[in-house]
Amino acid sequence: MSEQRVKVTIPASTANLGPGFDALGMAFQLYSVVEMEVSEQTTVELVGKELEGTPADKSNLLYQVAAGLFAEAGLAVPELAIRASSDAPLTRGLGSSAAAIVGALVAANQLAGEPFTREELFARATAMEGHPDNVGASMFGGIIVATMPEKAGEPVPYVRFAPPAGLQTLVVIPDFMLETQKARNVLPQVYSKEDVVYNVGHSSLLVAALAQGRLDLMGRAMSDRLHQPYRAKLVPGLNEILDKATEHGAVGAALSGAGPTILCFFSTAEEEGRLRAFVDSVMKGHGITYRVMILQPDENGVQVEIHQR
């Protein structure tokens, strides 16, 4: 077992980008940090207001994921000293659970002597999260296009590419939480062929537009019929922003993951100013308090620092 303290920095992420339901993800320059080392007894130190209310014992997700990795590697599960902080808000659609899973897997894998490759860790993270978009973006950075493997235990098929130059995101974070399960429960079990074909076309166009830097196509390509129309009743203001953001400076807009965070993509300061005013009028019209972040894409993915004890 390693005599090291491992520090892992993990980017937040968004999933879906509109029509790419459970298949498209992008990493942001908004980070969580997980520090981990083998100890005489397990301690979990949580730093910052974003992690308030998270369990600080062995029921914590970070410990659970790390313990599972040691067991999978055929090693005795050690006691661990874990310290975690996050700038990404929980249950807001910015991949906080995915970042935690990726951070714990990468840190524990380092302490275990790296028995698993990054691709194997990605497959394990995807199985835990249930979809590959957020964990893929946090693991590898940039934009990830991925799908679930046909059989359990197989590698996750994915393509990673760099985001378009100059793409920035106005991230609108309402002051309420929305549990992913609740946001999934409002989705129908059956869709019409028309809606499925609509999303296949739009998600395909979106991937091609992002890959070639065609920001002019993003607004049309980000339209969705599989999840955003159904989740709109859970997120006041979403419909107006999706419908009108491109008239107020956005190159495209989408619900971030399961929400309630809303993303408005732009590329110039002039667009940003118009977008801020538009978003403020919509949110105030619904009586929703919120905060805004301007985020750049992260292109590095998870980063590891090793400190000898």
Alpha helices in 112-192 (DSSP H): 118-129, 133-140, 180-185
| Residue 155 marked ligand-binding | no
| Residue 96 marked ligand-binding | yes
Decide: 21 and 151 in contact? Cβ < 8 Å.
no
Q: Which one-letter amino acid corresponds to residue 52?
A: E
| Residue 24 marked ligand-binding | no
Decide: 178 and 235 in contact? Cβ < 8 Å.
yes
| Residue 118 marked ligand-binding | no
| Residue 93 marked ligand-binding | yes
Task: Please enumerate, as own/partner, the contacts of 250-254 that have beta carbons within 8 Å and a separation of 24 or more.
Answer: 250/170, 250/219, 250/275, 251/167, 251/215, 251/216, 251/218, 251/219, 252/18, 252/215, 252/218, 252/219, 252/221, 252/222, 253/18, 253/219, 253/222, 254/14, 254/16, 254/17, 254/18, 254/222, 254/224, 254/228
Decide: 136 and 119 in contact? Cβ < 8 Å.
no
| Residue 89 marked ligand-binding | yes
| Residue 99 marked ligand-binding | yes
Which residue do the tokens 């320059």 mark?
29
Specify binding-site residues for ATP. Answer: 89-99
Specify binding-site residues. Answer: 89-99
